[in-house]
Amino acid sequence: MAAGPAGRRLAVLGHPVAHSRSPAMQNAALRELGLGGWSYEAIDVPPDRFEELVRSLPESGFAGANVTVPHKGAALTVAEELSEVAREVGAANTLAFEDGVVHAYNTDAAGLLAALPEPPEGRRALVLGAGGAARAVVWALVREGARVDVWNRTALRSSNLCEELGGSVVEAPDAGGYELIVNSTAVGLGGEDPFRELPLTRGGLHAGQTVVDLVYGAEPTVLAQAAREAGAQTVDGIEVLIRQGAESLRIWTGREPPIDTMRAAARATAPN
């Protein structure tokens, strides 16, 4: 999608969404790119109003939007045109509006892979969760050649995910046996203890592992801090946010995103 008119609006749609660092990150990038007429904001929209809101955005000057919890599945169904990745993942986190058509993309998968310190090929991976974010994670890791196990509190959801995307269901994982662990649940967003809510123990974290916590807010999260103390490499949710946001910005503007500027802005923004 090309840059188009001089002034265009962008947003992140979620419920809740006040904690998002996307506005600071994306507005910094737009300024760096010289797109001063563009702006990016956060819009809190409940599920029962999501489709109505999305349909109204183009007439209000919006070029596109990011989509976060709990709307990634709904974003797929509201769109007329789906990218191949969004279709295969079964969830979308990026919408673009062009000539009256809603296009849906998934940049979560590419964002995760870009944030990892090394390729996941051949590594044994544990994905926690089975929602929209987990779908992108599993899709990306399976296609990059990782051996993926999926845990979810509701086993039926993880079973359905694995049937569609690959990977194997695990009900009582031994976290110490994995080289890569990705928390794609919302545990930790509201201050929950991951060692009470997830099948993890502090003793199961160790050097040689990479632990990715897609939750962000406090820096670091309880899980990330415990992983660091155990000697594991960590990737926080902010880095994944930066990388997927860069892919979204490329879609909307056709410009190369200024990663360093986006990272500085995202990390300087205190959670609300």
Query: Are the C-beta atoms of 144 and 124 separated by less than 8 Å?
Result: no
Whether residue 220 has a cis bond before it, omega within 30° of 0: yes
Tokens at residue 221, please? 């999260």
Containing H/E element for 108?
helix 108-115
Smallest CA-to-CA distance from 5 within 253, 256, 255 is with 253
Q: Is 220 a catalytic residue?
A: no
Q: What is the DSSP letter of 90?
A: T
d(C-alpha 221, C-alpha 227), whole Å: 10
* Identified catalytic residue from 72, 135, 147, 263: 72
Smallest CA-to-CA distance from 221 within 245, 185, 249, 253 is with 185
Query: Are the C-beta atoms of 242 and 225 separated by less than 8 Å?
Result: no
Query: Are the C-beta atoms of 132 and 69 separated by less than 8 Å?
Result: yes
One-letter amino acid at 69 equals: V
DSSP state string for 179-245? SEEEE-SSTTTTS--HHHHSS--GGG--TT-EEEE---SSSS-HHHHHHHHTT-EEEEHHHHHHHHH
DSSP state string for 13-74? EESS-TT--HHHHHHHHHHHTT-TT-EEEEEE--GGGHHHHHHHTGGGTEEEEEE-TT-HHH
Q: List the catalytic residues.
A: 72
